[in-house]
Amino acid sequence: MRPLTTRIALLLLGTGLTLSDAAAQTTVLRVVPSADLRVLDPVAVTVNLTRIHGVQIYESLFAWDEKFRPQPMMIESYDKAADGLAYTFTLRQGLTFHDGSPVTTKDVIASLNRWMKRDAMGRSMAAAGGVFEARDDRTLTLKLKEPFGFVEFSLGSGVGQLPIVMREKEAMTDPVTPVTEAIGSGPWKFNKAEWAPGAKTVYDKFANYRPRTEPTSGLAGAKLVKVDRMEWIVLPDNTTAANALGRGEVDFMEQPAPDTLPILKQMKDVTIRSAVLLESQAWIRPNHLYPPFNNVKARQALAVSLSQDDYMMAFVGDRERFKECYAFFTCGGPFDTAAGSETYRKPDIARAKQLLAESGYKGEKVYLLASNEAALSRSMFPVTVEQMKAVGFNVEVMNYDWGATIARWIKKDKPGEGGWNLFVAGSPGAVLFHPIGNFYVDLSCAGTNGAGWPCDEEGEKLRQRLIKATDDAERKQALDAFHRRLWEQQPLILAGQYQVFSAWRNTVDGVLQAPTLAYWNISKK
């Protein structure tokens, strides 16, 4: 393979520019993303890279700041009725999409209606009777049948399916069908003409973006793009990416694999630091629609057979950088509890075999979805296979590139015929820390919750009780009751909590800490 500088130079052929000419005319931030961007729609899927893409190019009515507090973004002002059943929002003047068309309440309402059909927070808002209506092109109302205490929080979410505003014509797309036009009104403009899946994704500074005047904080406040262009360059081999960073061929690595951190630490011109606000968690997601994991005892057998320490040593390899965590809502977060986990903290193969037999499992093939392109998946799936075989599962690994993995993950097809039984991956702590935003523990039975589609009516009642709790004592009691139910039902098999770092050249300045990685406020010397 040619050196990265050579490949970049070849891209300039036909333009009449040299590398030095191009650099003089355009300031480019070159980023190595954690994976390849294949899906552009942050409402249709919950893939972290698609979410990062979404917060760059789209705007929302509110956004979370660095303390996870919702702050106004697209709105100029809003009013809330004393009984909490009505809101009135007024959009800022002069908001425009990247194609030059104005942002109107028609776009906002169509976008939020689509979001409410997909996202856990949005569905909770809809369950409270939430209906949006337009008064004019800049003013809209939200009317509720019962109070919902998370209106601003939900409309500013930086996790799950994002409550972003698309053009009306894209927002009318069926919510489970990914939109293929990425036209927003945010500070970065997606350059579809130069998008080369598997190789490169390009963003241009949106010249007509009107930032807010408040200080930048997390995903809120002033989003100031200080470079002209951003390129996400796909380098699946982390050692190659780390060396490219050291040579200055790229400027930023979103999430270096743990085994490359020692290499990066030796580079005097490189900074290593977290750019997100909470630690991440690794997990295994069972598909609840098909045998064997439609049976709770098969899920329990899987959970009781696995060792978080084995997973984290395989992926991270340094006990200073991970912890065993038995909280579905992120250890160290405001909803941290381990209630119900007591019998799952040490692997018990004999008990796992008994539970698996009681589930009625007869040795049918179990399809494990994984990807060598994602460092965590690459490290975790061999551990999963080894531990599952010890219990008696008949495992077959479906190992694809990351784009194909995600495309398969969201399908409800029969395992082995387009579908899957298990998926191994991880999520940022910001996705998991709050019971209303953690879509993996949405146990509603409509089949519109996150891929894996758990269904537990009793558990969903407990989740709604927790969401609606109004004082600390009631909230703690509801939290522990729901958490015990989660350990009984195992909608998600927890595999450990770990620190996440990014790395960048010392020529890069202004990297924020935010709920989701943000590429504004960054300058390059």
Residue ranges of the domains in the chain?
26-43+46-55+181-274+501-524, 59-171, 280-498
pLDDT in tens, 232-274: 999 989 899 999 999 999 999 999 988 899 999 999 999 999 9
The pLDDT tens digits of the residues spanning 164-185 come to: 999 999 999 999 899 999 999 9
Question: Is residue 497 within 8 Å of 319, Cβ to Cβ?
Answer: no
Percent of the chain surpassing pLDDT 70: 95
In this model, does residue 6 exceed pLDDT 60? no
Write the pLDDT tens digit of every residue in 65-112.
Answer: 999 999 999 999 999 999 999 999 999 999 999 999 999 999 999 999
**Percent helix / strand / coil, the chain, rounded to 5:** 30, 20, 50
pLDDT in tens, 39-56: 999 999 888 999 999 999
The closest alpha carbon to 303, from 278, 286, 280, 323, belongs to: 286
* pLDDT value at 22 more than 80: no
The yes or no reply on domain 280-498 and CATH 3.10.105.10 is yes
- The β-bridge partners of 287 are none
State the Cα–Cα distance between residues 198 and 321, nearest whole angstrom: 30
pTM of this structure: 0.83
Q: Rounded mean pLDDT of 277-295?
A: 96
State yes or no: cis peptide before 292, omega within 30 of 0. yes
* CATH 3.90.76.10 holds for 59-171: yes
Residue matched to tokens 């507090």: 69
Q: How many CB atoms lie within 10 A of CB 475?
A: 18
* Residue 1 pLDDT greater than 70, yes or no: no
Phi (first) and psi of residue 138, to 5 degrees: -115, -10
Instruction: Give the model's pLDDT for residue 11.
Output: 43
Q: Max alpha carbon distance in the chain (Å)?
A: 70
CATH architecture of the domain with range 26-43+46-55+181-274+501-524: 3-Layer(aba) Sandwich (3.40)
pLDDT tens sequence across 393-445: 999 999 999 888 988 998 999 999 999 999 999 999 998 999 888 989 999 99
What is the chain's mean pLDDT, rounded? 92
Is the separation of the CB atoms in 160 and 121 below 8 Å?
yes
Closest CA to 122 of 397, 498, 446, 362: 446
